[in-house]
Amino acid sequence: MPDDATQSGGRGSRPTPKGRQVDAASLAEVRRLLGDRERRRDLLIEHLHLLNDAHGFLSRRHIAALAAEMRLSQAEVHAVASFYAHFRIADDAAGAALPVVRVCDGIACMLAGAAARKATLERQLAGIARVEPAPCIGACDRAPAVVAGFRTVDGLDAATLRAATAVREVAPAEADAALAAARSEGAYGLLAACRDGTIARDDVFAALDAAGLRGLGGAGFPTGHKWRLVAAQPAPRLMAVNADEGEPGTFKDRWFMESAPHRVLEAALVAAWAVGCEAIYLYVRDEYPEAREALSAAMGAMSRAGLDGGVRVELRRGAGAYVCGEESAMLESIEGRRGQPRHKPPFPAERGLFDRPTLINNVETLWWIPEILARGGAWFAAQGRRGAKGLRAFSLSGRVRSPGVKVAPAGITARELVDEFGGGMATGHEFRAYLPGGASGGILPASMADEPLDFGTLEKHGCFVGSGAVVVFSQQDDLREVARNLVAFFAHESCGKCTPCRVGTQKAGALISGRDWDAPLLRELAGAMADASICGLGQAAMNPVLGLLRHFPEETR
């Protein structure tokens, strides 16, 4: 059969290229929305957010126009947009622009009745909003949690929905007043002492070593050592702040950013000063609209006050992808690409963001920097229990009387955390099991609730403390359903880049869907995924299943 060009009068005679054409009206709409913003490749996701927020979805005609405006192929723009869960690609049609209400079906919300909450909202908001399930949105202390537009809400009706979906920008005067209040309490004093030579770089590194501070996003890499590694690399160096805590049960970084954004910013600027980074990129998950709003307002006030010291600080918005919490996937997303992990080596400290040496810290790690430098590394190290060093912010949720962020000594046990900080078990519930480190940290029985929660203490039980997300279960909970929920989360969030994770998580879900589990086959699958997956998502996805096979065999047959 002759091709289209031949049919239309000869090869090369086609009046337009193949594919969707860019119409003038759509291009004009995109240009008005982007205004004077730069059309850099790394800003693609930010520009997709502008379109998505303005129209409620991404129309294919706008994708084509954005591609033309940014001098990218339509396939490339579509590939990025289709990767992220919070971008909805649709043709212009009635109902496509309805506001989205996301009901969390994460583990804490499942226990608190998320399914019933979703069904109720579907009835109440029929024709008014699209009600969708969502993986953990980092509001486990408010379970069952709901995000409507740009707000995490408790009650929801039509009026609340309208308010929640209205974009709110903090007025400069309000932000400047908040900065003045923070500075009256000492904010940015540490940064000034670093810049004027009162505190030397070597003093900072020594304090971090003495404190024993480690990466509190989950990996636990010694912070002082990491800073030295990056500082030893050739300039220019960059910094990325990982605020994409998507681990089910984790919400501590959200609390830090919402409650004291200037402390987070000051700590990031101190780190950039110590390591010699010329720019800071703060990557905040899209499920945290209030945190993003607080940081954006604080950044504006900080810049107007001249406190950035010439360091460029940019806020980047995630778009609904748990895998972007993995450091190299986050870097890909900041660069405007699909958030898929990179092969290592090279490591980000050598070749990271935009191929430059990059310092990566999570929010909680930075949060402790001012405290350590003000009180001394030895003071911080002495706060732990049972030989552990320092303090930690634990995200405590599940069947406890008082869920929330609990700042407690490293090395505390789960039982102590529940009793001393969580108000004990909720009425009618008895401690039966717990996740010590979120979904990927495995599951332990209450008989092991006296084990210290610290790096290196739980690995002998097939678990780890990770980001410190402790989810507590009781005798009323079906642990098989807990495992199914967690495995379904990993299957949903797999980026699809590597076969062991992409296929393995789906296969695991099928294998545990019935009453009797094939333990040898599940262990074989877990071993293959752990050995061959590119990143921690696939490597740890089977930990909840292995935990049940090891500690609750009666639940699996």
Q: Is the pLDDT of residue 153 over 50?
A: yes
Return the percentage of the chain with pLDDT > 90, whole number. 87
Look at residue 225 and give its three-state secondary structure: helix
Nearest Cα to 233, choosing from 344, 327, 329, 355? 355
Between 6 and 251, where is the model more confident?
A: 251
The mean per-residue pLDDT over the stretch 98-119 comes to: 94
pTM of the model: 0.94
Same domain, yes or no: 246 and 281: yes
In a shared domain, residues 294 and 195: yes
Query: Given 474, 498, 513, which residue is the final one in a domain?
Result: 474
Q: What gap in Å lies between CA 92 and CA 41, rounded to an integer?
A: 26
Alpha helices in 15-111 (DSSP H): 24-34, 44-55, 60-70, 74-83, 107-111
For the record, the structure tokens of 405 come out as 């962020």
> Confidence band (pLDDT; 50, 70, 90) for 160?
confident
Cβ atoms of 246 and 440 within 8 Å: the answer is no
How would you write 466-499 as a 3-class SS string? CCCEEEEEECCCCHHHHHHHHHHHHHHHCCCCCH
pLDDT > 60? residue 542:
yes
| Same domain as 221, residue 335 | yes
Q: Report pLDDT for 91.
A: 81
9, part of any domain: no
Residue 166: predicted pLDDT = 75
Predicted confidence (pLDDT) at residue 4 exceeds the cutoff of 60: no
pLDDT of residue 15: 67
Q: By the 8 A CB rule, do 50 and 66 touch?
A: no
How distant, in Å, are the alpha carbons of 23, 292, 297, 414 from that of 317?
A: 29, 8, 15, 33
Higher pLDDT: 83 or 11? It is: 83
| DSSP 8-state secondary structure symbol assigned to residue 99 | P
Say if residue 400 is in the same domain as residue 312: no
Split at pLDDT 50, 70, 90, the class of 12 is low
What mean pLDDT is predicted for residues 469-476? Answer: 98
User: Is 414 part of any domain?
Assistant: yes
Q: Are 423 and 406 spatial neighbours (Cβ–Cβ below 8 Å)?
A: no
**Distance separating alpha carbons of residues 249 and 138, to the nearest angstrom:** 7
Alpha carbons within 13 angstroms on the beta-carbon side of residue 550 total: 17
Is position 51 within any domain?
Answer: yes
Does a structural domain hold residue 545? yes
CATH number, position 112: 3.40.30.10
Residue 407 identity (one-letter amino acid)? V
Q: Residue 13: pLDDT band by 50, 70, 90 thresholds? A: low
The answer to whether residue 13 is domain-embedded is: no
Question: Taking 70 as the threshold, does the pLDDT of residue 16 lie above it?
Answer: no
Residue 157: the pLDDT is 76
Contact 400, 425 (CB under 8 A): yes
Indicate if the pLDDT at residue 158 is higher than 80: no
pLDDT value of position 95: 65
The owner of tokens 């699909």 is: 338
Last residue within a domain, chosen from 147, 164, 181: 164
Question: Is residue 293 located within the same domain as residue 279?
Answer: yes
Within this chain, do residues 214 and 295 fall inside the same structural domain, yes or no? yes
Taking the C-alpha atoms of residue 377 and residue 379, their distance in angstroms, rounded to an integer, is 5
Could you write out the three-class secondary structure of 230-278?
HHCCCCCEEEEEEECCCCCCCCHHHHHHHHCHHHHHHHHHHHHHHHCEE
Encode burial over 18-34: b for 16+ CB neighbours within 10 A, e otherwise: eeeebeeebbebbeebb
Model confidence band, residue 127 (pLDDT cutoffs 50, 70, 90) = confident
- Residue 213: which domain range? 172-374
Residue 135 near residue 510 (C-beta atoms within 8 A): no
Is the domain of 145 the same as that of 210? no
Give per-residue pLDDT as tens, 496-540: 999 999 999 999 999 999 989 999 999 999 999 999 999 999 999
Q: Residue 265 has which token pair? A: 């910013």
Q: Check whether 119 has a pLDDT greater than 50.
A: yes
Type of residue found at 130: R
Residue type at 19? G
Contact yes or no for 325/246 (Cβ under 8 A): yes
Beta-carbon contacts of residue 195 (< 8 Å; ≥ 6 apart): 273, 309
Average pLDDT value over all residues in the chain: 93
Tell me if 6 is assigned to some domain: no
Query: Structure tokens of 122?
Result: 């579907």
What CATH number does the domain containing 331 carry?
Answer: 3.40.50.11540
Where b means 16+ CB within 10 Å and e means fewer, 235-263 reads eebbbbbbbbbbbbbbbbbbbbbbebbbb
Q: Which residues pair with 452 in a beta bridge?
A: 413
Give CA 557 to chain center in angstroms: 35
pLDDT above 70 coverage of the chain, percent: 96
Does 119 share its domain with 230?
no
Domain match, 77 and 207 both: no
> Above 90 in pLDDT, residue 83?
yes
Using the Cα atoms of residue 424, residue 430, residue 432 and residue 434 in order, give the sign of their dihedral: negative
Confidence of residue 2 (pLDDT cuts 50, 70, 90): very low
Quick one: average pLDDT of 123-131?
Answer: 89
Q: Are residues 494 and 359 in the same domain?
A: no
- Asked whether residue 534 falls in the same domain as residue 449, the answer is no
Residue 44 sits in a domain of what CATH number?
1.10.10.1590
Say if CB 23 and CB 60 are below 8 A apart.
no
As given in the structure block, the two tokens for residue 92 are: 């212009």
428, 446, 474: which is the final residue of a domain?
A: 474
Stretch 149-158: mean pLDDT = 80
Question: Region 389-417: what's the mean pLDDT?
Answer: 98
**Exposure string (b/e) for 383-402, b if CB count within 10 Å is 16 or more?**
bbbeebbbbbbbbbbbbbee
Greatest CA separation for the chain? 82
- Looking at residue 11, its pLDDT comes to 56
Specify the higher pLDDT residue, 189 or 9: 189
Do 231 and 297 fall into the same domain? yes
- pLDDT of the residue at 163: 79
- Does residue 381 belong to any structural domain of this protein? no
The residue ranking higher by pLDDT, 398 or 168, is: 398
Number of domains, the chain: 5
Would you give the distance in Å from CA 79 to the centre of its chain?
Answer: 21
pLDDT at 174 over 90: yes
Which amino acid is it at 218? G
- pLDDT score for 169: 80
pLDDT value at residue 247: 93
